[in-house]
Amino acid sequence: MSLRLLSVSALALGLVALAPQASAQDAATVERAIAIRDAALTSNIALDYVTQLTTRFGARPAGSKSEQDAAAWAADYLRAHGFQNVRIEEFPLVGWERGEGSAAIVGKNAQSLVAAALGHSPATPRGGVEADVVRFSSFEDLQAASDAAVRGKIVYVDLGQMHAMQDGSGYGPQTRVRGAGPGVAAAKGAAAFVMRSVGSDEDRMPHTGTTRYVDGKPTIPSFALSAPDADQVSRLIALGEPMRMRLISTAHTYVTHSQNVIGDLPGATRPDEVIVLGSHMDSWDLGTGAIDDGAGGAITVAAAKAIADSGRRPARTIRVIFYGSEEVAQPTPETGNGGGVYARALGAAAEKHIIAGESDFGADRVYALRLPAGAQGSDFQKAATRVLYPIGVLASDRVETDGGVDIGPLGPLGVPFFGLAQDGTRYFDLHHTANDTLDKIDPAQLSQNVAAWAGLVWLIADSGVDFRAMRPATAAPAH
Ligand SMILES: [Zn+2]
Ligand 1 centroid distance, CA of 269 (Å): 34
What gap in Å lies between CA 54 and CA 281, rounded to an integer?
Answer: 10
Q: Does an H or E element contain 430, and which?
A: helix 427-430
Q: Quote the ligand 1 centre to 273 CA distance (angstroms).
A: 27
Calculate how far, in angstroms, residue 400's C-alpha sits from the geometric centre of ligand 1.
18
Instruction: Specify the DSSP class assigned to residue 471.
Output: S
- CA 387 to ligand 1 centroid distance, Å: 27
pLDDT for the residue 26 = 81
144 alpha carbon to ligand 1 midpoint, in Å? 32
Distance 423 CA to ligand 1 centre (A): 15
Q: What is the pLDDT of residue 170?
A: 82
Give the pLDDT score at 22: 34
- φ, ψ (nearest 5 deg) of residue 102: -160, 160
CA of 30 to the centre of ligand 1 (A): 31
Cα of 274 to ligand 1 centre, how many Å? 23
Given this model, what pLDDT does residue 21 score? 30
Query: What spacing in Å lies between the alpha carbon of 59 and ligand 1's midpoint?
Result: 13
151 Cα–ligand 1 center, Å? 35
Query: Which contiguous run of DSSP H or E holds residue 112?
Result: strand 111-113
* Structural domains in the chain, sorted by start: 3-95+255-469 (3.40.630.10), 99-250 (3.50.30.30)
Identify the DSSP state of 349. Answer: G
Edge-first strand order for the sheet with 111-113 is 111-113, 101-105, 244-249, 129-136, 154-157, 192-196, 222-225, 115-117
Q: How far is the CA of 413 from the centre of ligand 1 (A)?
A: 22
The alpha carbon of 360 and the centre of ligand 1 are apart by a number of angstroms equal to: 5
CA of 121 relative to ligand 1 center, distance in Å: 19
- E strand intervals along 238-308: 244-249, 252-265, 270-280
Nearest to 283 by CA among 271, 297, 302: 297
Distance 293 CA to ligand 1 centre (A): 5
Nearest-angstrom CA–CA distance, 221 and 231 = 21
* Beta carbons of 226 and 44 less than 8 angstroms apart: no
Interval between CA 130 and ligand 1 midpoint (Å): 33
How remote is the CA of residue 167 from the centroid of ligand 1, in Å? Answer: 15
CA of 280 from ligand 1 middle (Å) equals: 7
Give the containing element (helix H, strand E) for 135. Answer: strand 129-136
Q: How many CB atoms lie within 10 A of CB 15?
A: 13
pLDDT the model gives residue 331: 57
Alpha-carbon 309 to chain mean position: 28
Q: Are strands 353-358 and 394-395 parallel, antiparallel or unpaired?
A: unpaired
CA of 57 to the centre of ligand 1 (A): 17
**What are the pLDDT tens digits along the chain (479 aa)?**
333 333 444 444 444 333 333 333 588 999 999 999 999 999 999 999 999 999 999 999 999 999 999 999 999 999 999 999 999 999 999 999 999 999 999 999 999 999 999 999 999 999 999 999 999 999 999 999 999 999 999 999 999 988 888 988 888 888 889 999 999 999 999 999 999 999 999 999 999 999 988 887 778 999 999 999 999 999 999 999 999 999 999 999 999 999 999 999 999 999 999 999 999 999 999 999 999 999 999 999 999 999 999 999 999 999 999 999 999 866 555 666 999 999 999 999 999 999 999 999 999 999 999 999 999 999 999 999 999 999 999 999 999 998 999 999 999 999 999 999 999 999 999 999 999 999 999 999 999 999 999 999 999 999 999 999 999 987 555 54
Q: Ligand 1 center to residue 326 CA distance, Å?
A: 7
From the CA of 404, how far away is ligand 1's center (Å)?
9
CA of 159 to the centre of ligand 1 (A): 23
What is the 43 CA–ligand 1 centroid distance (Å)? 24
CA of 215 to the centre of ligand 1 (A): 25
Give me ligand 1 centre to Cα 289, in Å: 8
pTM of the model: 0.92
Q: Is 222 helix (H, G, I), strand (E, B) or coil?
A: strand
Residue 167 neighbours by CB distance under 10 Å:
15
Distance (Å, whole) CA 312 – CA 112? 60
Q: Determine the distance separating the centroid of ligand 1 and the alpha carbon of 139, expressed in angstroms.
A: 24
Residue 359 alpha carbon to ligand 1 centre in Å = 8
**How many angstroms is it from 239 CA to the middle of ligand 1?**
38
* Residue 334: predicted pLDDT: 60
- Output the CA 367–ligand 1 centroid distance in Å: 19
Contact indicator for 310, 35 with CB cutoff of 8 Å: yes
Q: Where are the beta strands (DSSP E) in 302-455?
A: 316-323, 353-358, 366-370, 394-395, 417-422
pLDDT of residue 162: 87
Q: What is the distance in A from the centroid of ligand 1 to the CA of 281?
A: 9
CA 388 to ligand 1 center in whole angstroms: 24
Rounded to the nearest whole angstrom, what is the distance from the C-alpha of residue 429 to the centroid of ligand 1?
A: 14
173 Cβ partners below 8 Å, 6+ apart?
159
Distance of CA 325 from the midpoint of ligand 1 (Å): 10
